[in-house]
Amino acid sequence: MLKGRGDGWATRFGLIMAMAGNAVGLGNFLRFPGKAAPFGGAFMVPYFITLLLVGIPLVWIEWTIGRHGGGYNHGSTPGMFHRLWSNRISKYLGIFGVLIPAMVGIYYIYIESWSLGYAWQTATGMYWGKTTNTEMGAVFNNYLGKSDSFFSFSPQAYFFFLITFALNIFVFSRGISRGIEIVAKYCMPTLLVLGTILAIRVITLPPIEGRTISDGLAQIWRIDDWSVLLKSDIWIAAAGQIFFTLSVGLGMVHTYASYLKKHEDITMSGLAAGATNEFVEVILGSTIAIPAAVLFFGVTQTQTIASEGTFSLGFFALPVIFQQMPGGQFFGTLWFVLLFLAGLTSSMAMFTPLLVFLEDELQLTHRQAVKYVGIATFFLMQPVILFMNHGLLDEIDYWMGEFGLVLFIAIETVLFSWIYGMDKGWKEMHLGADMKIPRIFYYIMKYVTPVFTVGLVVWWFFDSLSDRILMTGVDADSRPYLWLARIMMLGMAAFLIWGVHHAWKTHPKFLDVAETSEEKETP
């Protein structure tokens, strides 16, 4: 067993599947096409540049921070950052790596449950006959219970939410090797098979009204206008997609890597997990939703649908398409099962940093940690579900899934590359490595990645942060709900600040806290 501390990964394949599963999520099939389509083929240029200069380096950095921290029995970033930089502030900076995934998980599980609900609806043909986007939009709102009333609630959506939540808790409760790893080992290959079947089905669809699949692929791969590359929007969208798809800046990679022993490879394994994610996103993700939508609706309408939001394509347009496709009910069900599996392999990672923080730093047993996390997150999920009408979910997503993620990435790259030092970092990264990373990445990690990510935070700060903080343009009715979202996030942050403060005062492993990163060599 690959066992650095406590529970651990039973096999290397299981670890890579869990890491890849953590990265492969709803973003690969829903967010990616939605981001790429409005820009046409030009999107893939900044996408690959940021993948190479920021994404892949970050994967290696996070695996390294995780394994390094795991050597000191830290499974979450407060302790990991403390071991990289002995300054008293470092452990508090690490709180983001627990806070962000937990808060994202609070709404992600609900979204994941929609896929399960829609798989059921498709299999039973419940929305069959609704053959326009507008009608499917109404089906979607009805499914979520969205109306003019105070609460957005529907018994059906809530039922599937409960199933999804219970499934996630069950997986957490079984731990790493008996829970997360087993699910990843079975779900990831299944997901790859389902994705391949759907991609082949879409590629082999016959022309409709003169439009072919080639026209759909052109939306991703044909560059008509190079000048869009001069706009900042496309670079921000590409960078955001890379972070989101690789699941970097969320603290989850760190936690999974913390179970590795000091001399277990991370360079090849990290690259394998990243490559699997890119296969799913670029090859499968780009071949299903957009080409099918272009074939059935045409280019202009597809771009409009994609720009309407992440869910328009997957939950409105594709169900319409499935109804017109031979064998559509079968392939539609496969599509939503695929989304559900992609969501599950990601969501089961999201509460792991918090669980591990409670166990490693606050000395709770695994059973106690699962119980407390289960109860707390269940209650936090209720406002997200009930007040969806009022933008509560979007507010959490902005601060945690967008801004928080970029901020945390900037912090960790500066900490690793500049404070801990790239020379030590490079050496640490190559302990037991199966592959020598090309030397050019040393310079990329030292200069390009931190400058890019810090630059992104600065740009964000000047571009739109003050408007978001002050809720500029938000109507008065929605403001109390956005404040509720902020109170939830701040409440969780306050708990984690207390937790770090308490752990560093009471846990025996911190009583020798004078230890610095230089003394690390014998964990």
Partner 1 sequence: MTPLSWIYMGIVWTIILTLNVFCFYHIFKKKKDVSDDTDAQE
CB of 236 to partner 1, least distance (A): 22
Structure tokens belonging to residue 328: 């559509």
Our finding on whether 275 is near partner 1 (CB under 8 A) is yes
Our finding on whether 221 is near partner 1 (CB under 8 A) is yes
> How many residues bind to partner 1 according to rule CB under 8 A?
26
Of the residues 93, 103, 271, 485, which one makes contact with partner 1 according to CB under 8 A: 271
Of the residues 62, 215, 359, 395, which one makes contact with partner 1 according to CB under 8 A: 215
Between CA 308 and CA 388 the distance in angstroms is: 17
**Closer Cβ to partner 1, 39 or 72, answer by number:** 39
Of the residues 3, 10, 13, 376, which one makes contact with partner 1 according to CB under 8 A: 13
- 184 CB neighbour count, 10 Å cutoff: 29
Between CA 410 and CA 51 the distance in angstroms is: 16
CB of 231 to partner 1, least distance (A): 21
CB of 28 to partner 1, least distance (A): 13
Our finding on whether 517 is near partner 1 (CB under 8 A) is no
Of the residues 6, 10, 12, 308, which one makes contact with partner 1 according to CB under 8 A: 12
Between CA 173 and CA 91 the distance in angstroms is: 27
Cβ pair 259, 4 in contact under 8 A: yes
Of the residues 112, 278, 359, 360, which one makes contact with partner 1 according to CB under 8 A: 278
Site for partner 1 in 230-269 (CB under 8 A): 268-269
- Using the contact rule CB under 8 A, the part of the chain among 144-152, 278-286, 352-360, 389-397 near partner 1 is 278-286
- Rounded to 5 degrees, φ, ψ at 207 are -60, 150
Which x/- pattern, by CB under 8 A, does the window 85-124 give for partner 1? ----------------------------------------
H/E element holding 340? helix 328-350
Our finding on whether 376 is near partner 1 (CB under 8 A) is no
- Using the contact rule CB under 8 A, the part of the chain among 137-145, 163-171, 276-284, 472-480 near partner 1 is 276-284
CB of 222 to partner 1, least distance (A): 4
CB of 514 to partner 1, least distance (A): 39
**Closer Cβ to partner 1, 255 or 277, answer by number:** 277
- The upper half-sphere exposure of residue 103, i.e. CA atoms within 13 Å in the direction of its Cβ, equals 32
Identify the sign of the CA torsion 429, 434, 438, 444: negative
- 483 CB neighbour count, 10 Å cutoff: 13
**Helix, strand, coil percentages for the chain (3-state, nearest 5):** 80, 0, 20
- Rounded to 5 degrees, φ, ψ at 205 are -70, 140
CB of 57 to partner 1, least distance (A): 15
CB of 270 to partner 1, least distance (A): 9
Cβ pair 430, 436 in contact under 8 A: yes
Q: What is the DSSP string of 12-45?
A: HHHHHHHHHHHH-SHIIIIIHHHHHGGGGGGGHH
CB of 120 to partner 1, least distance (A): 33
Our finding on whether 218 is near partner 1 (CB under 8 A) is yes
Cβ pair 130, 136 in contact under 8 A: yes
CB of 198 to partner 1, least distance (A): 17
**Closer Cβ to partner 1, 91 or 185, answer by number:** 185
- 142 burial class (0-12, 13-18, 19+ CB within 10 angstroms)? middle
In sequence order, which ranges of 124-257 are alpha helices (DSSP H)?
A: 133-144, 155-173, 175, 181-203, 213-221, 232-246, 252-257
Amino acid at 153: F
**Closer Cβ to partner 1, 87 or 214, answer by number:** 214
Cβ pair 56, 271 in contact under 8 A: yes
Between CA 212 and CA 192 the distance in angstroms is: 25
Q: Indicate left, alpha or beta for 212 from its phi (over 0: left) and psi (-120 to 50: alpha).
A: beta
- Please identify which residue in the block is written with the tokens 């829970």: 179
Of the residues 153, 279, 418, 510, which one makes contact with partner 1 according to CB under 8 A: 279
Of the residues 89, 193, 283, 469, which one makes contact with partner 1 according to CB under 8 A: 283
**Closer Cβ to partner 1, 284 or 411, answer by number:** 284
- Rounded to 5 degrees, φ, ψ at 248 are -90, 155
What is the b/e burial string over 195-220, where b = at least 16 CB atoms within 10 angstroms of the residue's CB? beebbebbeebeeeeeeebebbbbbb
Our finding on whether 28 is near partner 1 (CB under 8 A) is no
Radius of gyration of the chain, Cα coordinates, nearest whole angstrom: 22
- Rounded to 5 degrees, φ, ψ at 264 are -90, 140
**Closer Cβ to partner 1, 269 or 302, answer by number:** 269
**Closer Cβ to partner 1, 240 or 274, answer by number:** 274
Which x/- pattern, by CB under 8 A, does the window 406-445 give for partner 1? ----------------------------xx----------
**Closer Cβ to partner 1, 47 or 165, answer by number:** 47
Our finding on whether 41 is near partner 1 (CB under 8 A) is yes
Our finding on whether 169 is near partner 1 (CB under 8 A) is no
Of the residues 223, 299, 364, 513, which one makes contact with partner 1 according to CB under 8 A: 223
CB of 428 to partner 1, least distance (A): 21
Our finding on whether 48 is near partner 1 (CB under 8 A) is yes
Note the residues at the interface with partner 1 (CB under 8 A).
12-13, 16, 41, 44, 48, 214-215, 217-218, 220-223, 268-269, 271-272, 275-276, 278-279, 282-283, 434-435
